[in-house]
Amino acid sequence: MLARLSAPTLRAALRAALCAALSLAGGAAGAEDIAPPVNAAATDEDTVSQASTAPAPPAGIESAAPERVLTLDLTRDANDIWDRIRRGFGMPDLDSERVIDQQAFFLNRPGFLKQVFARGGRYLYYIVDELERRGMPTEIALLPMIESSYDPMAYSSAHASGLWQFIPSTGKHYNLAQDNWVDERRDVIASTQAALDYLQRIYDMHGDWHLALASYNWGEGAVQRALRRNAEEGLAQEYSHLRMPEQTRNYIPKLQAIKNIVAEPELFHFELPYVANELHFVTVDAPVGVDLATAARLSNMPLDEFLALNPGFNRPAITLPGQTFVVPTDRAERLEEGLAELVRSGKGWRMHVLGAGERLDAVAARHGLSLAQLRKLNGLTPASKPGPGHALLVPDGIEPEGALEVSRLLPFSAAVARQPGLKLGTAEARNSRPRLESAGSSARNATPKSGRKAHQRPAAGD
């Protein structure tokens, strides 16, 4: 396929290529040289993300390229996810010096860029599928790169969490459960649904994707005030004419820079990692009492890979009926068979509710644990003093080593414990989650009788 490039696109490409060439001469930075950009989505109109940001990118390099059209051979594999994303681009392009600067910033760090694109590969098919179903621009599938570097465990100083970096209040507004047992802001499926709902709503509010993205980063109230201020001063009601914080001013140029690289990687001498355009994961019913390490072993998956698909759990074992595991499509049958055998064995994990006067060390000894292990499994700090009615996760005929390893990797103490208003280990958690006899689950988590479902939602109106 041949593509004809406009003069602005050509100028941007030439400038970025020149920056990359200069970088190669001085030594390009690797992944370790950059802090992943993380931003918090906010609804509070006075909220400005306090998330970590990358260092200021190098200034763009001016080029005296003549106004002309360049013809390139852009033959690609039409079966990869990148081609599908390109075909769904629907936002107006932004052509500015800030975009050029951001392109140079990313291209000067090719190791980081490839690492993050590869990490996002496991999630892209699902996100793109949802965008197409909703009729939304596929550039949005690239937004988690700016928000979290496609890391569902990302956590910011503004208490934003997950791929889409929801702060607690916005997550609650979009029905993302956040308690001692789960944090659906990290759940890839739940958070993607919430993020797309939110983005669609603020797009409908403004009728402009640039303003919608600015609202996602800065807060919709802040953008509305900036628009009113421009209207009162007789200025244009467009993103590029608004007064806004520097972080928001660079937010859309960052996305545009990534879009440009994905659109024309050959032009920037960059090779995108191959990501097949095919369903990557399905869900499998998770029986109560199985721990995540055992599920990973039964799936024949490394624990870190399993947790990357199941990052929403705050505890190392399943405590509620109706929950599911997310696994690659080719591992689902193996996991189903292993879980069925585990259920037949009667071994697993259960909840122990503290009685009046019952001590933690006594409970630990009764279940073959040290006090430190019991605290670790339940996200309790040495200062925590749980009382009667507090539900504790304990082993029942199963070795605790795997669950302890999961506890070490889970972000419970690092993230959830710092959330304002969250109490550790209380039996009053949302929806009475510690109660194993609690029946039912949300429609969003409902699974067919086969115990497995592909993550491909029905079309609107079905």
Among 157, 131, 158, residue whose Cα is nearest residue 143: 131
What distances in angstroms separate CA 43 from CA 169, 171, 183, one per listed residue? 8, 10, 19
What distances in angstroms separate CA 290 from CA 181, 184, 323, 348, one per listed residue? 14, 19, 11, 5
Q: Among all residues, which ones are annotated catalytic? A: 147
Dihedral angle sign, alpha carbons of residues 205, 209, 212, 214: negative
Identify whether the C-beta of residue 380 lies closer than 8 Å to the C-beta of residue 386. Answer: yes
Residue partners of 129: CB distance under 8 A and separation at least 6: 455, 456
> Terminal CA-to-CA distance of the chain, rounded, Å?
38
- Give backbone dihedrals phi and psi of 411, rounded to 5 degrees, phi first: -90, 25
**β-pairing, 2-5 with 391-396?**
unpaired
- Give backbone dihedrals phi and psi of 191, rounded to 5 degrees, phi first: -70, -35
Identify whether the C-beta of residue 395 lies closer than 8 Å to the C-beta of residue 367. Answer: yes
Tokens (6 digits) for 294? 């055992």
Nearest-angstrom CA–CA distance, 154 and 164: 9
